[in-house]
Structure 1
């Protein structure tokens, strides 16, 4: 089982407030998306890469991530609120608090993916990031679902499904582009 690490966990006030819990991941995701967006736009960069089958058009990602960030924020609030209630068992409280640390770590990994893939053109690092993200969220869904609140775990299911699809796209795009997302090699060095 994981450990609750206050240094690596969002403040409790984020989880206690439903609007804050929902808006923090949406705001952070939006900020990262706009700050790492290439000057010529992600759609142009995205469409210029060799893509695996079933890739969605670029406009699908913004609305999808907004919904998923909202669901994960609601799941986090619900798990924390129900799991740390004065009527909860000590094991449930511990699981809810452990989940807040995992949630914070996964949110950081989630926010790091776009800069790794699009900003720094590092598809191998982005793949390691998204595989870690998928594993942590699988464990978090189980932890919250089995030990805190079943609905909180189920609320992460659409996120896990999309992460699985995004992992396929990430690995497929990296592979099809020989793990080099630059149009040419920079300074004679291949980026990894």
Structure 2
């Protein structure tokens, strides 16, 4: 059963151009994460206990832009499939997928300020779980209508979000009973 989603026309227009499709998540990611480097140099961040497997800090500014490019291009492929669909059911399914795309993008942009700026590790974990679930659902929803083209682009993002949720959960768990000065 497909749920009809009626998105504002601008949300269909953005991914029609591959430049704006890729530029939107890249720009939002850059704006969301602009204070991350500063916070990672604080005593608060450096005193956090972390779970095994945390990659070096230099991995994150390399991985995230690649994921933003992939998700942006996936939105472009989705709108191309929408524009060429002959069935209302397929168009509705793609509309739902695009609605999920923008929803996950909002949760993605919210995570960094929650974790780094507001130092709300628990709320960031809640956000991460919702973000991962929305992204997995979006990936599944767009798979058939795009002949799996979007899935190839989104699976690395799904994998990274799973790993990021593990890291966030581990940080929350390991530091849940500690008193850390959030003003540091």
Please report the TM-score for the alignment, with normalisation by the length of structure 2: 0.89
Mapped contact 2:119–2:182 kept (Cα < 8 A): no
> Compared with structure 1, are the counterparts of its residues 179 and 31 closer, same or farther at alpha carbon in structure 2 (3 Å cutoff)?
farther
Distance verdict in 2 for CA 1:59–1:10, change over 3 Å: farther
Q: How does 1:81-160 map to 2 (within 5 A)?
A: 81-85=80-84, 87-160=85-158
User: Does structure 2 retain, via aligned residues, the 8 Å contact 1:10–1:100?
Assistant: no
What is the Cα-based RMSD across aligned positions, in Å? 2.1
Deviation string for 1:153-176 (max 9, x for gaps)? 221100000000000000001111
Deviations 1:4-47 (A, max 9, x none): 2425x86222111001101110111011111x437x44244543
Structure 2 unaligned residues grouped into runs of 5+: none
**Contact 1:51-1:172 at 8 Å conserved across structures:** yes
Q: Distance in 1 between matches of 2:10 and 2:129?
A: 22
Q: 1:46, 1:166 → 2: CA distance?
A: 16
What secondary structure is seen at the aligned counterpart in 2 of 1:84?
A: helix
Is the Cα–Cα contact under 8 Å of residues 74 and 153 in structure 2 kept in the other structure?
A: yes
TM-score by length of 1: 0.85
| Matches of 2:172 and 2:83, distance apart in 1 | 42
1:114–1:83 distance in 2 versus 1, CA, 3 Å: same
Question: Which residue is 1:189 aligned to?
Answer: none
- Distance in 1, matches of 2:90 and 2:136, equals 18
Offset at 1:148? 3.5
Match in the other structure for 1:63? 62
Cα distance in structure 1, aligned partners of 2:120 and 2:15: 32
- CA, structure 1 residues 27+141, in 2 after alignment: closer, same or farther (shift >3 Å)? same
Structure 1 runs, 4 residues or longer, greater than 6 Å off: none
Equivalent residue number for residue 183 of structure 1: 180
Q: Which secondary structure does the structure 1 equivalent of 2:27 belong to?
A: helix
